[in-house]
Structure 1
């Protein structure tokens, strides 16, 4: 059953402006080490790489119904790739705690994530499924 759904649209140029203005401070505050390493390997599409991940974090915060409140922080939500290459989320801290609170007993959470971009926009959709164990 679906227990959460969220989407977000992010302007790549807005992320580039934040990178230009705040540089490493913005990256450290919002993105995990894995996300920063991936963006560093993509110098020509760095802002787009970050924008998709920023949108994914926003979409997750909407899917769990908190926004960035109740202990859910951007750095607790990391975009990683499954062995198949598909994007998914790795959660820590308050984000993991909030997700655990939502999952009914006898179920496990499965996060579905899709990312796309077409300059100047990046978009993410998150669906959280509770799957019986």
Structure 2
């Protein structure tokens, strides 16, 4: 059963402006080490890479119904890749606690994430699917 759906559309130029204005302070506050490493290896699509991940964080916060409050922080939501290459979310802190609270007894939640970008837009969708154990 689906326990949450979230989507977000992010302007890549807005993220580029934040990178230009706040630099490392913005990056350190919002993104995980894994996300930073991926984006910094992509000099021609750096802002787009960050923007997709920013959108994924927003989409997750909508899927769990809190936004960025109730202990859910951006840095607690990290985009990583499965061995297949498919993107997924790695959750810690308040983000993980919120997802755990939404998980029905006797179920495990699978996080489905898709991201795309086409300048000047980046988009992400998150579906939280509870499957019986």
| TM exceeding 0.5 | yes
Aligned to 2:31: 31
1:48 corresponds to 2:48 = yes
Q: Displaced runs of 4+ in structure 1, greater than 6 A? A: none
Q: Distance in 2 between matches of 1:40 and 1:116?
A: 18
Q: CA deviation at 1:93?
A: 0.2
Question: Deviation per CA, 1:32-72, whole angstroms, max 9, x where unpaired?
Answer: 00000001100110000000000000000000000000000
Structure 1 residues not aligned, in runs of 5+: none
Match of 1:124, SS state, is strand
Q: Distance in 2 between matches of 1:35 and 1:11?
A: 18
Aligned to 2:67: 67
Q: Distance in 2 between matches of 1:45 and 1:26?
A: 17
Q: Distance in 1 between matches of 2:44 and 2:118?
A: 14
TM-score, normalised to structure 1, is: 1.00
Structure 2 residues not aligned, in runs of 5+: none
TM-score, normalised to structure 2, is: 1.00
Q: How many residues align?
A: 133
Match of 1:123, SS state, is strand
Q: Distance in 2 between matches of 1:102 and 1:129?
A: 11
Q: CA deviation at 1:75?
A: 0.2
Q: CA deviation at 1:83?
A: 0.7
User: CA RMSD for the aligned pairs?
Assistant: 0.3
